[in-house]
Structure 1
Amino acid sequence: MTALSAPVVDPWLYPLLLPLHRILMQGYFGTLHVSGQEHLPPQGPVVWAVKHYSRWDPLVIAQLSPKPLYFMTNANQFVGFQGWLIQRLGAFPVDLNRPQLSSLRSAVTLLHQGQPLVIFPEGGIVRDRPLRSLKPGAARLVLQAEATAPQPGTIPIVPIGLKYDPAPQVGAQIWIQIGKPLSTADLPPNLEVKMAAHQLTQQLQAALLDCLMVL
């Protein structure tokens, strides 16, 4: 992958595995309860900012979209067969300790192509508290993408909370709450990028907490 390229979902492998994915999720977990699905844009670029509770989260979240999702994924997951597979299903690596410019460029390119991008803004799995302080990466990404987009304020960030009851295990019920999209158009005008990213991150933190509190 070059610095300016974007991940590509394998057009043969994805439809082949899609029925197996449905069977796995329906057979392993209990009922999936989803509220707020009307807040997910049916088309166009969007960032899904998701609470990260379990390694199952990407498979769970994928059930919400009729088309492939793209995932910014911890670089340490790209090993062996797992790495080979997830890279062909829309995941691309990001080093959480030293994010590379190529990862940002890949994400920006995807958004410019009108693709849905999934980010776990806590930066890792968190179970010991409702929500860890969010990293500013999601906000910075959207600001960067919109800075080079034809029209500003057109890449929403959708907060998504999820909960496994009682835990991510066989038969668990899954509850998902999707919040109203956030937009850079709602930020005060003429903010410098660092302050805009800070304010957007704070808005996302509050919105994600609101989603989690109703689960």
Structure 2
Amino acid sequence: MAEQNTSQTTSRIVPWLYWGLWPFHRLLLWFYFAKITIVGREQLPKDGGFVLAPKHYSRWDPVILALVWFRPLRFMTNAIEFRGVQGWFIRRLGAFSINLNRPQASSLRHALEILKTGQPLVLFPEGGIERELPVRPLKPGLARLVLQAQGDRPIPIFPVGIVYTPCPQFRCRVSVYIAPPLWVERNGCDRQPLKQRAQQLTEELHKALLDAVTQAAQVD
């Protein structure tokens, strides 16, 4: 199912809904998983925009990532997830849709707006769930967004490794490793074409994400 052909992509966080579901969200995770360990969340800024770039291994990933920060996160999410009741909820919990096969300009503009207004954004750089490879080859979309959104204050990108032991199933263990951020150097780089800068940043992110997955696998 493709994203609706509209001229504008919108999303919002409805406070009463988010915080009303908060205890049920925690209770669900406590019941379903044997243990969830998160390493490195103290690195995340208390204010200002940043990007979480996680490994995408399971549909549980966004639900678990909601634990890593003390305020709601915004999510760029595959348009096929916005069907029915689920779509009604996630759109009001900060998610917005993107057609992965044919990304619409409205979705990209909305992501830029979120970053430019200093909000944290979760982007899965693999573009979908990948279980066969440690990290799927990345496309430069995330890097392009961050480069275009940067103002006077650089936007850090935090690679995030997520590992389920033995696999995503009832009472398994989950390890989340938030790696040190990637910072985009501005001095001297603005003279490079955007395409070249995005490709360099994408290569750095791929290497850092591979390392984050390795570190997550070693978390007890």
TM bracket, shorter-chain basis: over 0.9
Q: Tell me what 1:106 maps to.
A: 110
Residue correspondences, number: 210
Alignment of 1:81-100 (within 5 A): 81-100=85-104
Deviation at 1:188, TM superposition (A): 5.7
Deviation at 1:38, TM superposition (A): 2.5
Alignment of 1:35-184 (within 5 A): 35-146=39-150, 149=151, 151=152, 154-184=154-184
Q: Tell me what 2:3 maps to.
A: none
User: What's the RMSD between the two structures over aligned residues?
Assistant: 1.5
The 8 Å contact of residues 72 and 119 in structure 1, kept in 2 or not, is answered as: yes
In structure 1, distance between residues paired with 2:54 and 2:7: 27
Q: Tell me what 1:30 maps to.
A: 34
CA 1:78–1:14 in 2, change beyond 3 Å: closer, same or farther? same
Secondary structure at 2:67 match in 1: helix
Secondary structure at 1:127 match in 2: coil
> How high is the TM-score relative to the length of structure 1?
0.93
Q: String of CA shifts for 1:51-89, please: whole Å, max 9, x gaps.
A: 000000000010111111110000111111111111011
Equivalent AA in structure 2 for residue 158 of structure 1:
F
In structure 2, distance between residues paired with 1:91 and 1:84: 10
5+ residue gaps, structure 2: 1-5
Secondary structure at 1:158 match in 2: strand
Secondary structure at 2:142 match in 1: helix
Deviation at 1:18, TM superposition (A): 0.6
Deviation at 1:39, TM superposition (A): 2.4
Q: Tell me what 2:21 maps to.
A: 17
Deviation at 1:102, TM superposition (A): 0.6
Deviation at 1:161, TM superposition (A): 0.5
Q: Tell me what 1:204 maps to.
A: 205
Deviation at 1:187, TM superposition (A): 8.1
> How high is the TM-score relative to the length of structure 2?
0.91
The 8 Å contact of residues 126 and 136 in structure 2, kept in 1 or not, is answered as: yes
